[in-house]
Amino acid sequence: MNVKYEKKLEMTFIGYHTEIRPEEGYQKCPEFWDKEFAAKYARLWQTMKPETEIEKAILENEIGMFAICSESENGFLYWIAGLYKGGDVPEGLELYSFPASDWAIFTAKGPMPGSLQTLNTAVWQEWFPNEGQKFQANGKATLEVYSQGDPQASDYECGIWVPVQTEGKQMHLVQTDDFETVKSKYIEVIENTPDIEKYARWIYGKHPTDESLKAYIDRGEMYVLTDGEEIAGMAAVALCQGDEYLNISWEKDLPNDEVATVHLLAVCLDYRGKSLGLRILDEAMEIAVQNGKKALRLDALKSNLPAQKMYEKAGFIYRGEQRLYAENTGMTEFLYYEKVSKTAAMLA
């Protein structure tokens, strides 16, 4: 499933609609196209000569190149629509506007309606529960986008656009006065994380410690992800790498001043299950790039399988492992991951 994110100005569409129950969507939407578009305007498609104001508007606004799914009381309104180019709106047609927004844009190829329905299922069952949790909806409608050509062709292109906005959660630097608050959050996470002794193996006072938290704060490297006044997660983004990182075969042999590393990533109890770990890693990458770094690196205990899965989902690449001593674990294996900035990758 391909997805990209783009900003678009306000868009207004013109079209007509019917109401459909969600469980009937994959049946009723194609029926609406067949009956109220293909069959109803069969003469128009053959002659391309409009005889009514609605037919004129259909051609002028290319109605049929888009569909809109907007929430309704009993399900959703399904619109057959075109991008409104101005002028009179004939009786029987209506306008629908999307505000200026960021959009998650998904595309697919294949015969209709199967390719679009498969894409729709993937959007809501794969993207939305994972990467989609970084965003909140901007409005109560989505857009289906079609291309010219034979809808039954194997290379026919279609798409689904979802208007999104970044949730109100923001990354902030931790100040010295916030030390006790951040410390208490780490202790709360450690004391209430199931199987922490099996996976992350954190023990407050050994890892992390008062000294390590204060050092990150003093260097301006400790961040919290906030949701209003609440802390949703924490992480340190160090603008360098430790000596132990020099033993790993990285994609590029970068000097210390071109690398950032992530440490002590944690999501608070009330915010788990919302993919905020991925959000924090994205924010950490942005911090690294803003500070001129070409790569973001991190490590995980070999026992910490959940962390490894999250890093890989976030686009980090496994680069190697080594056996080291840590106060909270003794001698154990550490795995190392890296994500190279897009700019650095393009210049490679």
Sorted by where each begins, the domain ranges of the chain are 2-166, 169-347
What is the predicted pLDDT for the residue at 259? 97
Check residue 9 and give its pLDDT. 79
The average pLDDT across 302-313 equals: 96
Decide which of 167 and 247 is more confident: 247
Position 138 scores a pLDDT of 80
The residue among 7 and 277 whose pLDDT is bigger is: 277
| Mean of pLDDT values over 139-152 | 95
Longest CA pairwise span in the chain (Å) = 83
d(CA 121, CA 116): 9
pLDDT at 111 over 80: yes
Residues shown for the chain: 348
pLDDT at 341: 84
Average pLDDT over residues 224-231: 87
Element (H, E) at 148: none
Mean pLDDT for the stretch of residues 304-331: 96
Residue 137 reports pLDDT greater than 90 = no
- % of the chain beyond a pLDDT of 90: 81
Task: Determine what percent of the chain is predicted with pLDDT higher than 70.
Answer: 97
**What is this structure's pTM?**
0.56
Is residue 118's pLDDT more than 90? yes
* pLDDT above 60 for 346: no
DSSP string over 89-118: --TT-EEEEE-SEEEEEEEEESSTTHHHHH
Residue 260, classified by CB atoms within 10 Å of its CB into exposed (0-12), middle (13-18) or buried (19+), is buried
Per-residue pLDDT tens digits for 171-208: 889 999 999 999 999 999 999 999 999 999 999 999 99
Taking 90 as the threshold, does the pLDDT of residue 336 lie above it? Answer: yes
Assign 57 to helix, strand or coil.
helix
| Cα distance between residue 31 and residue 263, in whole Å | 54
CA atoms of 105 and 110, how far apart (whole Å): 17
User: What per-residue string of b and e applies to 56-79 under the rule 16 or more CB within 10 Å gives b?
Assistant: bbbeebebbbbbbbbeeeebbbbb
Q: In the prediction, which pLDDT does 132 show?
A: 87
**CATH number for the domain running over 169-347:** 3.40.630.30
Q: Is the dihedral of CA 252, 258, 264, 265 positive or negative?
A: negative
Query: Do the Cβ atoms of 78 and 20 come closer than 8 Å?
Result: yes
CATH class for the domain made up of 2-166: alpha beta
Q: Which residues are within 8 A (CB) of 266 and not within 5 positions of it... i.e. 6 or more apart? A: 185, 186, 189, 233, 234, 235
How many Cβ atoms are within 10 Å of 184's Cβ, its own excluded? Answer: 11
> Stretch 227-233: mean pLDDT, rounded?
87
- Please tell me what DSSP assigns to residue 69: E
Q: What is the mean pLDDT of residues 226-253?
A: 93
Lowest mean pLDDT among 4-8, 80-84, 147-151, 326-330: 4-8
Q: What is the pLDDT of residue 167?
A: 62
Range of weakest confidence among 139-153, 161-175, 244-258:
161-175
Mean residue pLDDT across the chain: 93
Please tell me whether the peptide bond between 208 and the residue prior to it is cis, using omega within 30 degrees of 0: yes
- The confidence band for 321, taking pLDDT boundaries of 50, 70 and 90, is very high
What integer is the mean pLDDT of 251-272? 94
Q: Is the pLDDT of residue 343 over 70?
A: no
Task: State how far the Cα of 247 lies from the Cα of 136, in Å rounded to an integer.
Answer: 41
Convert the pLDDT of each residue in 8-60 to its tens digit. Answer: 878 999 999 999 999 999 999 999 999 999 999 999 999 999 999 999 999 99
8-12, 71-75, 342-346: the lowest-pLDDT one: 342-346
pLDDT higher than threshold 80 for residue 119: yes
Shortest CA distance to 275 belongs to which of 302, 301, 222, 314? Answer: 314
Q: Hey, which of 269-273, 291-295, 299-303 has the most confident mean pLDDT?
A: 299-303
What pLDDT, on the 0 to 100 scale, is given for residue 347?
Answer: 43
Cα–Cα distance measured from residue 184 to residue 205, given in angstroms and rounded to the nearest whole number: 12
